[in-house]
Amino acid sequence: MRIGFIGLGTMGGAAALNLIRGGHQLAVCDLDPDRATASRAWADQMKNTWWPT
């Protein structure tokens, strides 16, 4: 399932990681670009994330 996820703070980041681990594809957004970059690194490791262009 493709899911849009906004907010990757303490709670949102953990929730996004669980969704990635569950095999879902995420498009993520956060006001702090470093958090979005970190989530992309998780996803690259998991090979399950869809990044819209």
Q: For 17-37, what is each residue's pLDDT tens digit? A: 888 888 888 888 888 877 777
DSSP per-residue codes, the chain: -EEEEE--SHHHHHHHHHHHHTT-EEEEE-SSHHHHHHHHHHHHHHT------
Contact 50, 26 (CB under 8 A): yes
Q: Distance between CA 31 and CA 46 in Å, rounded?
A: 23
Beta bridge mates, 2: 25
**Looking at the 3D structure of the chain, how many domains does it have?**
1
Q: How confident is the model at residue 51 (pLDDT cuts 50, 70, 90)?
A: low
Q: Tell me which residue range forms the domain holding 14.
A: 2-46
Residue 42 lies in a domain: yes
- Which pLDDT score, from 0 to 100, does residue 43 have? 66
In a domain, 52, yes or no: no
Band the pLDDT of 1: cuts 50, 70, 90.
Answer: confident
Given a cut of 70, whether residue 52 has pLDDT beyond it is no
